[in-house]
Amino acid sequence: MGSAAKALHLHWLPSRPVSGIIRSIHSERSIRSPVTIGFAHAELIAVLVAVTGDEPRVMTIRSGNALPSGPFEMGHRTLQSGLREWVQEQTEHPVGYLEQLYTFADRDRNNDIPGGRTISISYLGLVNEQSGAGRPGWHGWYEYFPWEDRRQGRPAVLDEIMARLRSWADADTARRDHRHRRADFTFGLDGGGWNEDLALQRYELLYEAGLVSEAGCGAEANLGRAMFADHRRILATGIARLRAKIKYRPVVFELMPESFTLLRLQRTIEALAGLTLHKQNFRRLIEQQELVEETGGTESETGGRPAKLFRFRHTVLEERALAGTKLPLSRN
């Protein structure tokens, strides 16, 4: 195996052998080179999401510094089949919802392969919260994007962000006004309010302004927790996609246990959106859309009487691939 391929595997792969698309760095027999197309290396990369308690989490490797990834292998019938097999190995639970996110292929996005190009085919996967999301390797996604969590109000870090974006905008006289308008729109300061779906645009603006270490600003000036290469950009892509998706597809049930209270459902959606929802409006819309049904059981919730348990209606489960059924995001 060439030195470039070794560098890729030594830095990225999980620490135990699994069948399928990813091989362990601890067994030289099992290491496989990525598919090479000219000077390009093709790999799969996963944004695997679970919700534990009130926190959305993402599966990581390298102590939280990278997303799990590995070479594309020709042995699987489809990319998704290989990824599903690996996810089940890692979480001891089959992945529920899985969709392709984007193909990242910018030149020099991975400096571990000198003179080559890495083509990363990224996927978003959802796993039930009982699948071990509290284990090492799972990290809260607001560690990486602290400005995205507005459940407790405006994050304090936004003051620093906007001050530094203003300085960046003022540094270019020709584009000053455009930069100010862009910063205000992206961070919800133009009168239009905060748009949770713009998670990727916010990160890309901070990258362009040189305010994250991935852009070369240095660890002392970095905002949020940095990741290897462009993995934080890939994670932001997954967050933005999921936040938009839960508004028109009932994919959130993939993150829920079989039975749940309406409060647990609401808090799961709030965790993903980074926003609080109006309790009564939320419950009214859930009932109107006939998304759930009572199980007949109850569960004790802190500080109150036992709450009814619900499950998603089987018709929703059977028809979840159809557009039109959605979970509401009615803000306070």
276-296: per-residue pLDDT in tens?
A: 999 999 999 888 888 899 999
Amino acid 2: pLDDT: 37
Range 3-141 classified under CATH 3.90.79: yes
- Token readout for 275 is 């926003």
What does DSSP say about strands 292-299 and 307-312: parallel, antiparallel, or unpaired?
A: antiparallel
What backbone torsions phi and psi does residue 262 show, to the nearest 5 degrees? -65, -30
Pick from 93-97, 269-273, 323-327 the range whose average pLDDT is largest: 269-273
- Token readout for 142 is 């607001």
Amino acid 79: pLDDT: 75
What does DSSP say about strands 40-52 and 69-71: parallel, antiparallel, or unpaired?
A: antiparallel
Which position has the higher pLDDT, 323 or 163? 163
pLDDT tens per residue, range 89-148: 766 667 878 899 988 777 665 555 555 677 888 999 998 755 555 566 899 999 999 999
What does DSSP say about strands 117-126 and 40-52: parallel, antiparallel, or unpaired?
A: parallel
Amino acid 328: pLDDT: 52
Please give the C-alpha separations between residue 296 and each of 169, 199, 291, in angstroms, as whole numbers. 58, 39, 16
Residue 245 has pLDDT above 70, yes or no: yes
What's the mean pLDDT when you consider all of the chain? 79
- What is the C-alpha separation between 13 and 31, in angstroms, rounded? 10
Amino acid 332: pLDDT: 52
Pick from 190-199, 217-226, 306-315 the range whose average pLDDT is largest: 190-199
The CATH label, of 3.30.1330.60, 1.10.3720.10, 1.10.40.30, 1.10.10.10, for the domain at 250-318 is: 1.10.10.10
Return contacts of 99-105, CB within 8 angstroms, 24+ apart: 99/123, 99/124, 99/241, 100/124, 101/47, 101/234, 101/237, 101/238, 101/241, 102/234, 102/237, 104/45, 104/230, 104/233, 104/234, 105/40
pLDDT tens per residue, range 33-70: 444 445 567 788 899 999 998 999 999 988 999 998 87
Q: What is the largest CA-CA distance in the chain?
A: 65
The whole-number average pLDDT for the span 230-235 is: 95
Share of residues in the chain with pLDDT > 70 (%):
73
The region of weakest confidence among 44-48, 169-173, 301-305, 311-315 is 301-305
SS (H, E, C) the chain: CCHHHHHHHHHHCCCCCCCCCCCCCCCCCCCCCCEEECCEEEEEEEEEEEEECCEEEEECEHHHCECCEEECCCCCCCHHHHHHHHHHHHHCCCCCCEEEEEEECCCCCCCCCCCCEEEEEEEEEECCCCCCCCCCCEEEHHHCCHHHCCCCCCCCHHHHHHHHHHHHHHCCCCCHHHHHHHHHHHCCCCCCCCCHHHHHHHHHHHHHCCCCHHHCCCHHHCCCCCCCCCHHHHHHHHHHHHHHHCCCCCHHHHHCCCCECHHHHHHHHHHHHCCCECHHHHHHHHHHCCCEEEEEEEECCCCCCCEEEEEECHHHHHCCCCCCCCCCCCEC
Amino acid 93: pLDDT: 67
Domain-by-domain residue ranges, the chain?
A: 3-141, 145-226, 250-318
